[in-house]
Every structure is written in structure tokens, then in C-alpha cells.
């Protein structure tokens, strides 16, 4: 879980801070607004987090983030991932640029520019 927190903090250009617990962490913006909560498998009796042996990471889940520093986030993504799953492209439905990569746990992460 700590590795996942650090990966996301790096992707989004945030200072690296350790999670408050070894089983739970939050990614927050500069104002303290929580953007994402991360749990370790088997903690807090969440039925969908019982065991990674009973689930395929990323199956049916898309983590979607909008950023105001798209080009910088893309540059950081290229250092974090062995490959970009979807290279930057204009999404005709939203009119914004986006790209996708996999996080260290295998989840699909879509990053989109904020609309101009």
C-alpha cells in the first residue's frame, strides 16, 4: 500500500509522504481535500478487499483523474511505467487530451487534462 501511495504521489507531482498506517493511506491535494483512499488487502472487513487471490486487479475498475499539469504528469508517468497503455490523444467526447497507464498493482489509470 505504501508503494501505491508513493507511486501516485510521484505521478501527480506531490511531495512524498508516508501513509498514516501500514494498511491505509490517503492521497490529498494541497488544501487537504482527499482525492483517493488506498486500503491493503484484508483490512477493515471490506468484502471486495478480502483477498487478492479472489480478484483480478483492475477488472471492471478505471481510475480516472483530471489534472491541470497534463504535460508534466505525462512526463512523470513515462518515468513510472514501463509503457503507456494509451498514448496521449484527444478524446472527442470530452474535447480534452488524455493518456492511460497501469499502476504497480495492475490497475488502469486514465489521466485527462482539465478543459481549457
**Series of mean pLDDT values for 10-residue runs along the chain (116 residues):** 84 85 79 78 56 62 87 97 95 92 88 88
What pLDDT does residue 105 have? 82
Sequence-distant (6+) residues with CB within 8 A of 108 are: 58, 61, 62, 63, 85, 100, 101, 102
CATH classification for the domain delimited by 2-113, as one of 3.10.180.10, 3.20.20.70, 3.40.640.10, 3.40.250.10: 3.10.180.10
What pLDDT does residue 111 have? 95
What pLDDT does residue 33 have? 84
Q: What digits encode the pLDDT tens for the residues 28-54?
A: 888 888 887 776 665 555 555 555 666
**Helix ranges restricted to H, 12-106:** 70-80
**Structural domain boundaries in the chain:** 2-113
State the pTM of this model: 0.73
What pLDDT does residue 82 have? 92
Amino acid at each position: 500500500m505504501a508503494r501505491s501511495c508513493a507511486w501516485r504521489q510521484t505521478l501527480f507531482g506531490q511531495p512524498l509522504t508516508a501513509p498514516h498506517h501500514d494498511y491505509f493511506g490517503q492521497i490529498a491535494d494541497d488544501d487537504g481535500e482527499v482525492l483517493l483512499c488506498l486500503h491493503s488487502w484484508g483490512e477493515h472487513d471490506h468484502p471486495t478487499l478480502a483477498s487478492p487471490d479472489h480478484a483480478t486487479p483492475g477488472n471492471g475498475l478505471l481510475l480516472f483523474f483530471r489534472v491541470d499539469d497534463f504535460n508534466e504528469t505525462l512526463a512523470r508517468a513515462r518515468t513510472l511505467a514501463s509503457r503507456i497503455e494509451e498514448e496521449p490523444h484527444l478524446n472527442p467526447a470530452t474535447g480534452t487530451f488524455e493518456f492511460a497507464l497501469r499502476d504497480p498493482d495492475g490497475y488502469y489509470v486514465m489521466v485527462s487534462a482539465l478543459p481549457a
